[in-house]
Amino acid sequence: MKTVLTFAYGSNLDRAQMRERCPDATPVGRAVLRGYRIAFAGASRRWDGAGVATLLPARARTVSGVLYALSEESLAVLDRFEGHPHVYVRCRVCVTDEWGRRRFAQAYCLPPQPEAIPATRYLRKITRAYERLGFSLKALEEALGSAA
């Protein structure tokens, strides 16, 4: 079965959400995306018009996340949840996995939009995942500061 490597960095870090959406998603491990920052932007209908996570180019910054191996069927399901291609678009990224290997993966990114404050529930979901994974909360705090 062909799989697609996907870099999760926002609400898809939530294990329960990924299990519900894509039961056959296999966590491959943690990874870091260099040269980007996490940001909140747009106006999500699912989150009452609030901002959602995206990736923005930023020198000397990094985004922590998790790599998942998805079947093509699960990728199609995740596309629907992410509103691909009308809300999020798939972008190809090169991440460094927890073993120091560079891996190409797809990630969901918003087209350029103004930064916006996320819904409290949405931010809480991402914050809990960051804490569970041992990621620094500094990136989320900076993203909130940029959105304000």
> In angstroms, what CA-CA distances link 20 with 17, 55, 73, 97, 115?
5, 24, 14, 25, 28
CB 70 within 8 A of CB 25: yes
How does residue 7 score in pLDDT terms, banded at 50, 70 and 90?
Answer: very high
Per-residue pLDDT of 115-131, as tens digits, reads: 999 999 999 999 999 99
Say which DSSP state 18 is in: H
CATH code for the domain defined by 3-143: 3.10.490.10
Chain Cα centroid distance, residue 55? 8
Per-residue pLDDT of 60-107, as tens digits, reads: 999 999 999 999 999 999 999 999 999 999 999 999 999 999 999 999
